[in-house]
Structure 1
Amino acid sequence: MEQTILIIDDDAKLQDLLTEYLENSGFKVASLLNGQEALSNVRNVAPSLIILDVMLPGKDGLEVLRDIRTESTVPIIMLTARGDDADRIVGLELGADDYLSKPFNPRELLARIKAILRRFDNSTTKVSSHQIECAGIALEASRQILIIDNEQITLSPTETKLMAELMRQPNHEFSRDDLMTKVWGREFNAYDRSIDVHISKLRNILKPYNEHAHRIRTVWGKGYMFLSD
């Protein structure tokens, strides 16, 4: 089945370049030059993945991201200005799955797209054809749902994959390299905050539940682990 990529960017030349490149790579492409109609397009187009620029006229990319996340867990790659760490971190905190700094090589974007879609497919098939349970927490990755005390919490595709990796091997010390390879499909970069921001989001989800607030532990100098007790 042909997968659709929705590009939301006010740079028409970049849109044309990416559209041609992605179509030649086997994707169907839809595009918008602003964020005003983003949510309605997500509903109508039902994209497999969204490429979303932060610097949009009118409603900026972070506002658009916030709107989309109120009703969709579609994977999203944010495009940010080089060196703008604040936008990257806020974007990840709001639910973006990955980010790429402009200017970038279209081949790198394509690699990120394929890695995320592969991760998303895995989270709904072999990784999660069954429910993962550990320490009174259940993860239904096919539905991207975390169940704690009979409450259901919706996760993003990346949060789902990260939580699945941690829960499937409780008390195992995962290095940042391990998690970056398993979850993001690329090598860890010391300047990349993706892992730390998503771990922080998962901790905030667990925090209201006193019995589980401690589950994700930092292994200093290495990475993280999920505690079973």
Structure 2
Amino acid sequence: MSPRILFVEDDFELAKLIGEFLTRNGFLIHHIDRGDTVEAAIAEHDPDLLLLDIMLPGKDGLSICRDLRPAFTRPIILLTSVGSDMNQVLGLELGANDYVVKTTPPAVLLARIRAQLRQHEPQTIAGSRPATPALSQVLHFGRLVIDAANRDVKLDGHSVVLSTSDFDLLWLLASQAGETLSRDALLKALRGVEYDGLDRSIDVAVSRLRKKLGDDPNEPHKIKTVRNRGYLFVRSGWDS
């Protein structure tokens, strides 16, 4: 599945040029032009990376970056028309992962985006290598089929659209079906960080998976919450 980028830029001509270039290079681009609609767009489109202009109507990029962290754990790249050292330092301190001047050649921006996505690729629970499934693997659980080669999920024969990070979480849970995985283990495997007792990103992602896969959010029986332990992918939960 192509990585998804939420591109926030109020210069429509620049947005069109960059958006078309990134689309040609394999990305799915959703463009918005106001800062005060970013959080709603993230909730709707679940992007793998946020490409964010600093000067925006509604809400500026630095404020957006500050307010999104730590809830939004994926890469944020700030765009600016002025290469100010102060803005760069402030942006990085507020949680941005990178800072790019708009005059930067598109190929360099592309490389910076790919570098950030690589750095945020999931790792194994042991932490030794990325948790990318072998391309030949397909997991079958009754009505659910997870195809690693095509990063495709089908439920009752119909494709389920998942973001890159949600697919990685589903694969990790499903490949260890029947085992309870703690939030700490999942965070280490997917993002290489330890659970601090406050991070709710795994809970949010599991809730999103349940919704997309038709699990009952009040009494889930496909991806269960095991109190004080973590999450359990149930093998038999997909049979009916």
TM-score (norm 2): 0.54
Aligned to 1:90: 90
Q: 2:125 aligns with which of 119, 122, 129?
A: 129
- Percent identity, aligned pairs only, is 40
1:86: Cα distance to partner? 1.2
> CA deviation digits over 1:42-82, x for unaligned, max 9?
11101111110111123100111122224211111101233
**In 2, Cα distance between equivalents of 1:30 and 1:118:** 20
Structure 1, gaps ≥5 residues long: 133-137, 155-229
Q: 2:188 aligns with which of 118, 140, 148?
A: 140
| 1:63 partner amino acid | S
> CA deviation digits over 1:153-172, x for unaligned, max 9?
75xxxxxxxxxxxxxxxxxx
1:96: Cα distance to partner? 0.7
- Within a 5 Å distance, the mapping from 1:41-52 to structure 2 comes to 41-52=41-52
Structure 2, gaps ≥5 residues long: 129-184, 200-240
1:140: Cα distance to partner? 2.3
Aligned to 2:2: 2
Q: How many residues align?
A: 143
| 1:77 partner amino acid | I
Contact 1:3–1:28, Cα closer than 8 Å, also in 2: yes
| 1:146 partner amino acid | E
**In 2, Cα distance between equivalents of 1:68 and 1:20:** 26
Aligned to 1:175: none
1:143: Cα distance to partner? 4.4
Higher RCO, Cα 8 Å, sep 6+: 2
Aligned to 1:69: 69
| 2:193 partner amino acid | I
> CA deviation digits over 1:1-40, x for unaligned, max 9?
1211110011100110011101111111001111111011
Aligned to 2:32: 32
Calculate the aligned-residue CA RMSD, in Å: 2.4
| 1:142 partner amino acid | L
Could you say what secondary structure the match of 2:120 adopts? helix
**In 1, Cα distance between equivalents of 2:54 and 2:11:** 12
Contact 2:127–2:192, Cα closer than 8 Å, also in 1: no
1:144: Cα distance to partner? 4.8
Change (3 A) 1:28 1:99: same
Contact 2:6–2:31, Cα closer than 8 Å, also in 1: yes
